[in-house]
Amino acid sequence: MQINLKDRIKYLTGDESILEKSDKIPALPMFSDIAVGFLADLSKELLSIPNIREHLDVMSYAYWIRKASIEKEKQKYNLREYRLGRGVAFHIAPSNVPVNFAVSMTSSLLAGNITVIRVSNKEFVEVSTICDAINRVLAKEEFAMMRSYICIIRYEHSDEITAFLSSICDVRIIWGGNNTIAQIRKYPIPPRAIEMCFADRHSVAIIDPEKYLEEDPSEIAKKFYTDTYYSDQNACSSPRIVIWLGENEAAKTSFWNALNEEVKSRYEIQPVQVIDKLSTFTEISMKMEGVRIREDISADNRLMVIDIPSLVLDSETIMDYKMNSGYFYQYTATCLDDILPILNKTCQTIAVLGIEKKDVVSFLMEKGVRGIDRVVDIGDTMGLEFVWDGFKMIENMSRIVYIYEK
How are the residues of the chain apportioned to helix, strand and coil, as percentages rounded to the nearest 5?
Answer: 45, 20, 35
CA-CA distance, 389 to 349, in Å (whole number)? Answer: 9
Q: Is 3 helix (H, G, I), strand (E, B) or coil?
A: helix
DSSP assignment, residue 268?
-
Q: Residues 141, 289, 366, 405: which binds another protein (CB under 8 A)?
A: 289
Tell me phi and psi for residue 53, to 5 degrees. -65, -20
Q: Residues 176, 209, 239, 354: which binds another protein (CB under 8 A)?
A: 176
* Total binding residues toward another protein, as defined by CB under 8 A: 55
Residue 71: Cβ within 10 Å count: 12
Instruction: Identify which of residues 190 and 309 has a Cβ nearer to another protein in the complex.
Output: 309
To the nearest whole angstrom, how small is the minimum distance from the Cβ of residue 233 to another protein?
8
CA-CA distance, 106 to 103, in Å (whole number)? Answer: 5
Based on the shown chain and the rule CB under 8 A, indicate whether residue 60 belongs to the binding site for another protein.
no
CA-CA distance, 232 to 226, in Å (whole number)? Answer: 10
Based on the shown chain and the rule CB under 8 A, indicate whether residue 274 belongs to the binding site for another protein.
yes
Site for another protein in 297-356 (CB under 8 A): 299-302, 306, 320-325
Q: Is 302 helix (H, G, I), strand (E, B) or coil?
A: coil
Q: Residues 7, 78, 286, 403: which binds another protein (CB under 8 A)?
A: 286
To the nearest whole angstrom, how small is the minimum distance from the Cβ of residue 192 to another protein?
28
Residue (of 335, 331, 327) closest to 317 by Cα position: 331
Instruction: Identify which of residues 194 and 288 has a Cβ nearer to another protein in the complex.
Output: 288
Residue 353: Cβ within 10 Å count: 21
Instruction: Identify which of residues 214 and 289 has a Cβ nearer to another protein in the complex.
Output: 289
Binding pattern for the stretch 183-202 against another protein, x by CB under 8 A and - elsewhere: ---------------x-xx-
Site for another protein in 132-161 (CB under 8 A): none
Window of 96-104, 153-161, 209-217, 355-363 that interacts with another protein by CB under 8 A: 96-104
To the nearest whole angstrom, how small is the minimum distance from the Cβ of residue 172 to another protein?
16
Q: Which helix (H) or strand (E) holds 106?
A: helix 100-111
Instruction: Identify which of residues 64 and 229 has a Cβ nearer to another protein in the complex.
Output: 229
CA-CA distance, 155 to 148, in Å (whole number)? Answer: 20
Based on the shown chain and the rule CB under 8 A, indicate whether residue 279 belongs to the binding site for another protein.
yes
User: How many residues in total does the chain contain?
Assistant: 406
To the nearest whole angstrom, how small is the minimum distance from the Cβ of residue 113 to another protein?
22
CA-CA distance, 278 to 326, in Å (whole number)? Answer: 11
Residues of this chain that interact with another protein (CB under 8 A) are 94-97, 100, 175-180, 198, 200-201, 231-232, 234-236, 238, 269-276, 278-283, 285-293, 295, 299-302, 306, 320-325
